[in-house]
Structure 1
Amino acid sequence: MKKIVLYIAVLISALSFAQDKEKAQLLAEKKANDYVYEANELVNEDNFISAEMEYRKAISKQPNTVAGTYNLGNSYYHKGNFDEALWRHQQAAKNATDKSEKHKAFHNIGNILMQNKQCKEAVEAYKNALRNNPSDDETRYNLALAKVCAEQQQDENKDDKQDDKKDQDQDNKDQNKDQQQENQDQKDQGDQKEDKGKDKQNEEGKPKEDQGKGDQEQKQQPRPQQLSPQQIKNLLEAMNNQEQKVQEKINAEKQKGVKVKAEKDW
């Protein structure tokens, strides 16, 4: 009998605890909804700062509230804070329990990704939205735009990769050309040093008397278009002899050709 009474008491206590917990949850949900309502009113008044505070209060009271995170994400979106907006809508999509809520969250995620130029990711977001609401024409239209954008970005990436490859190939060619030129310069310098070494070695290999003899011969050898002293002497003697012969011939001609002048008759 005592065991039965104890069991009933425990059961009543458990039921009372569950009721209290449920009641607390309902109160928290109601409070969160009130904060969301206040925030929505502030958004309509373009008071985004105060609205953000009320949305945050709603989330603190009920962390899995879809309305709070979804509306806060929209508030960030209108302010241009796309990173925060994306995070809040991802939370809303995760906490959503029905398809309508999921569809709206994924649709807005796609819009935010398009703003961030993440077209490929936006395509997946719009597809998820259509999985939860296949009849939404706006989502389908946005999906078509996202696909076009993703294809363009893919083509641009291919072109950029090709340009990068061309630039890399050109850089490699320039580097190879510079290296070849550097190697050629080093080779030329080495050849010059080698030639100088050979000349010096050849010069050092000659006997000293030969070296001096070569210098002396170079000094004694007449320069081009310059006569030696002996040649000048011989030339002068020849000229004197020739001049003497000419003079003698002239004198002989004078003596032979002189006529006696006759006196004029009167």
Structure 2
Amino acid sequence: MKESGRRIKMMNSLKFKNIAAMFFVVAISCFSMLSAQENPEKTEREVNQYLREAEDAMGENDFASAEASYRKAIAKDPSNTAAKYNLGNLYYNKEKTPEAANRLSQAHEISGSKEEKHRINHNLGNSFMKQKKYQEAVEAYKNALRNNPSDEETRYNLALAKKMLEEEQQNQDQDQDQNQDQDQEENQDQQESQDQQNQDGDGGENENQDSQPKDEGENEDKENQDKGDQEDQDQKEQQDEGGENGEEQEEQPQQQQPAQGQLSPQQIQSLLDAMDNEEKKVQDKINAEKAKGVKVKSEKDW
């Protein structure tokens, strides 16, 4: 219980400290506001002094001093339209158009009279034109004419801004169309290139497939041709040999062919020779027996 009681006291003390801090901040803010309200004349005098210093610096072309004086005036009185408007014009003349547009926009927010709004928006439109922000320039010139419709210079600038905006949109459309056409051409070229590669790939395979039978056919034709040439050569040699044999046969006397059922001379001669051989054998046997005569005994009979 004692520990919980201590925690509660610590929480209460913290809460009290936070409230005290908030009260201190609010008190300081209120004191500053009261001081400003109590001394408006002093604040106005100081702001006017800064504005005069800025104008003197501008007369001497001292840009840095003029910018510093305008900033001091704005810091002293943020609701001073003249300080923001003049600083915006200073940036515009020094070709710092983004900074000029920023300060003129701030001046437009706190401006009160129509004349102020007209002058601020006219110069704001000029700042946007230099940045080629034609849509923003058109809106600024329109706001200027709403506060002073009789200003012909603002009306001319508005017409010029509209023309530039229209040309910009046309150029954007043309660029978009050109980009689309270019993309289509690139896609078409890529597709054609891909198709050509596919065709080349298929053609190479077919060519390889066709080349193999073609080579085989050529080899076969060549072999057949060589074989045919060899056969022609052999046939020619046979014809040559046949011619020689034919000549030899023509030189030999032709033998008579025996008629059907008759013996040829060769057969007759063979029979005669056989008969002669038999007769010779018989004669030889007879002659041998005659040569022996009567047998003579070489030993005595017993």
TM-score normalised per structure 1: 0.68
* 2:108 pairs with 1:102: no
For residues 67 and 181 of structure 1, what CA distance do their matches in structure 2 show? 72
- 2:98 aligned with 1:83: yes
User: Displacement, 1:107?
Assistant: 0.5
Q: Which structure 2 residues correspond to residues 145-184 of structure 1 after superposition, within 5 A?
A: 145-184=160-199
1:44-193 correspondence runs (5 A): 44-191=59-206
2:300 maps to none
Q: Structure 1 residue 129: deviation in Å? A: 0.5
Matched, 1:33 2:39: no
Q: CA deviation at 1:192?
A: 5.6
Instruction: Name the residue aligned to 2:236.
Output: 231
* Separation of aligned partners in 2, 1:239 and 1:232: 11
Quote the Cα distance in structure 2 between the aligned partners of 1:56 and 1:153: 37
Q: Secondary structure at the match of 2:71?
A: helix
Percent identical among aligned pairs is: 40
Partner in structure 2 of residue 221 of structure 1 = 227
Deviates more, 1:71-80 or 1:29-38: 29-38
SS of the residue corresponding to residue 39 of structure 2 reads helix
SS of structure 2 residue aligned to 1:63 = coil
Partner amino acid, structure 1, of 2:236:
Q
Distance 1:182 1:219, change over 3 A: closer
Distance 1:239 1:98, change over 3 A: farther
Q: CA RMSD in A?
A: 3.5
Name the aligned partner's letter for residue 25 of structure 1: P
| SS of corresponding position for 1:158 | helix
Instruction: Measure how far apart 1:52 and its partner are.
Output: 0.7
Structure 1 Cα separation of the partners of residues 134 and 244 of structure 2: 111
Question: Following TM superposition, by how much is the alpha carbon of 1:195 offset from its aligned partner in structure 2, in angstroms?
Answer: 6.6
- For structure 2, the 5+ residue unaligned runs are 1-30, 248-302
Give the C-alpha shift of residue 183 in structure 1. 2.8
Deviations 1:135-176 (A, max 9, x none): 212111111111111121122112111111111111121122
Greater relative contact order (Cα < 8 A, sep 6+): 1
Cα distance in 1, alignment partners of residues 226 and 192 from structure 2: 53
Structure 2: how far apart are the matches of 1:86 and 1:123? 14
Q: TM-score with structure 2 length normalisation?
A: 0.61
In the TM superposition, residue 109 of structure 1 has moved relative to its aligned partner by: 0.9
CA contact (8 A) 2:36 2:43 kept: no
Instruction: Write the letter of the residue equivalent to 1:229.
Output: D
| Count of matched residue pairs | 212
